[in-house]
Amino acid sequence: MSENQLQTKRLAIVYAITGLVVFFVLVLLGFTMRLNQAGALDLPPDFFYALMTLHGLGMVGVLYVAAYIGVWYLISQYTKPSLGLAKFNYVLILLGVVGLMLSTLIGRFGAGWYVLYPLPFIKTWPEWAVGTAVISVMLLGVAWLLGQLDVLRAIAKRYGFAEGLGWGYLSGNPKEKDLPPMVVITSVSMIAGALTTVVGAIMLMLYLAKWLNPALEFDALLMKNMVFLFGHTLVNITLYFGVAAVYAMLPLYSGRAWKMNKIIALSWNASLFLILLAYFHHLYFDFGQPVWVQYVGQFASYLSTVPATVVTIFGVFAQIYRADMKWSFVPLAFVLGIMGWIVGGFAAVVDSTIRLNQVLHNTQWVPGHFHTYFLLGVVLMILAVLYYLMGPKEDKLARFGLWSLLLGGFGFVAMFFIGGIQSVPRRMANYDSLPIKSVAQVGQMTAGIASLFILLIAVGAIAYYIAVFKGVKQAWSGN
């Protein structure tokens, strides 16, 4: 291993350890919120919504960064992303995280992870908390955008922009005969991410201007479109990063090459366009939008599930069917993560159906579907990559942690889905004020049961951490 490769691996380990610690803290915040909804705690409402904001923004951010650094590390085997920029981005991300913690835990900023306009400016929390939150998210956005552009630069330098997207395979004349599929998936993800992160940055600059000059007024529907174009895409490319790692690493365990072809190139290039249109399903209730936009959201949401998902599922089956493969932690976590992605994606498609969205939109079905494809999808893929990165020898403990997390995770998300079907509303600190007592009882009951399942998730995470941290010293030395 060269010195540059060793430094790359060490930086990825620093990111990984930081991400694992922050993730566990945010799990505890989720545990606290569910206990409050169950009636076991009595948090002040403003503190609950501050925790909800930190948990939501924090989870989206930490999972994005963890998935990104996994892809960044894997793509460095083919290209040369900037090590110096990654170090600089780590500092920006830390500053952003600290700023968010100050604004929420001390300033009680609780506008939710969507920070929908004009919620941040309703004078419920101190002015400094608003400014700190906006600047903190801007710091995170700058780091993410720089990282996306740098990976695109590295891919373009090694393969060329068109070849990096697999366009040579679409034309039937690829210049790169052994192009890794993960390069195409990463290119698609980084392009979508960069485009929409710019939109998010513009929105945040407008927020900053509003904070500095309260007299400014903006169109609320325009701001909402910008928020969801940025946030929806960020969540989806986080999932795509995890899937890219599956393409890159599962062949290491199956012993079968996962070769690039026209179908893979076509499906992931189609996903690039569909992902930029599917976000409209978040705005079905905004009747000020043109009707045709709602139909675009409906069709794009349905179509976006087909190309990448179907091709990936067939690819995974081709990798594992009758393969002489030892089901150690990494391939097991990858396959289970793909399953979680499928289940959560199906639940998301249900919610993106206009007629069903009218019933499910403001219920716990919504956190049910995104907790499923995050906790039981991309989290498992990330844990697999980090396990590979740190290379621990202990496998039984890690697999115990995986099964504990899986059991706890499915039980946890099931409570969201049951609550959603029973019309339990989301984003409520408690259910005491609900006029329909039977709905309030279901909300409290499911929150209490979910809290027990979170304990299983925590046990699984601790077991995994013990196993994976045993390999840190050896991984740090480059072995």
Torsion of CA 115, 120, 124, 127, to 10 degrees: 130
**Neighbour-count burial of 85, counting CB atoms closer than 10 A to its CB (0-12 exposed, 13-18 middle, 19+ buried):** middle
Q: How far is CA 4 from the centre of its chain?
A: 29
Q: What is the pTM of this model?
A: 0.96
What amino acid is encoded at 344 in this protein? G
Q: Mind listing the pLDDT tens digit of every residue in the chain (479 residues)?
A: 688 888 999 999 999 999 999 999 999 999 999 999 999 999 999 999 999 999 999 999 999 999 999 999 999 999 999 999 999 999 999 999 999 999 999 999 999 988 999 999 988 899 999 999 999 999 999 999 999 999 999 999 999 999 999 999 998 888 888 899 999 999 999 999 999 999 999 999 999 999 999 999 999 999 999 999 999 999 999 999 999 999 999 999 999 999 999 999 999 999 998 999 999 989 998 988 998 998 898 899 888 878 888 999 999 999 999 988 889 999 999 999 999 999 998 999 898 888 898 899 899 999 999 999 999 999 999 999 999 998 877 789 999 999 999 999 999 999 999 999 999 999 999 998 899 999 999 999 999 999 999 999 999 999 999 999 988 888 888 77
Phi, psi of 363, deg, nearest 5? -110, 175
